[in-house]
């Protein structure tokens, strides 16, 4: 995505919904679509849009409900170095599948 898109805001911009649906169908069918196809390179935002959709649809978020308050406290830390230390500590508490 970063090689083929405008980096500023690339994960905030939405792709064309028909391309997102086509890509979703390819993942659900073959499981390994060719992201170098022109249709996806011309609308690289459909890739990041589908990824965001996948994370939204998880039954339990990647950064679990149970750790939400700890993550919120960690990112609210003012000093960057301390913030990174706290975030790493909370990440270590994630269940193994979420951590991987």
Q: What is the pLDDT of residues 5-42, one digit of tens each?
A: 666 666 778 889 999 999 999 999 977 898 888 988 88
Q: What percent of the chain has pLDDT above 70?
A: 92
Is residue 13 within 8 A of residue 19, CB to CB? The reply is no
pLDDT (tens digit, 9 = 90+) per residue, 35-83? 888 988 888 889 889 999 998 898 889 899 999 999 999 999 999 999 9
Question: What pLDDT shows up at residue 64?
Answer: 93
CA separation (Å) from 9 to 26, 27, 47, 76?
Answer: 25, 25, 14, 23
Question: What pLDDT shows up at residue 95?
Answer: 94
Is residue 48 within 8 A of residue 14, CB to CB? The reply is no
Question: What pLDDT shows up at residue 75?
Answer: 95
CA separation (Å) from 76 to 29, 46, 85, 99?
Answer: 41, 31, 12, 21
Q: Is the dihedral of CA 51, 56, 60, 64 positive or negative?
A: positive
State the chain's mean pLDDT as an integer: 89
* Rounded Cα distance, 30 and 44, in Å: 20
77: its two tokens: 């830390």
Mean pLDDT over 70-99 rounds to 96
Is residue 50 within 8 A of residue 27, CB to CB? The reply is yes
């Amino acid at each position: 995505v970063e090689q083929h898109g405008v980096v500023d805001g690339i994960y905030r911009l939405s792709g064309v919904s028909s391309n997102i649906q086509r890509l979703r169908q390819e993942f659900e069918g073959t499981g390994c679509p060719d992201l170098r196809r022109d249709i996806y390179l011309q609308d690289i935002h459909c890739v990041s849009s589908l990824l965001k959709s996948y994370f939204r649809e998880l039954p339990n978020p990647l950064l679990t409900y149970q750790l939400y308050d700890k993550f919120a406290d960690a990112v609210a830390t003012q000093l960057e170095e301390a913030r990174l230390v706290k975030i790493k500590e909370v990440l270590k508490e994630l269940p193994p599948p979420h951590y991987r």
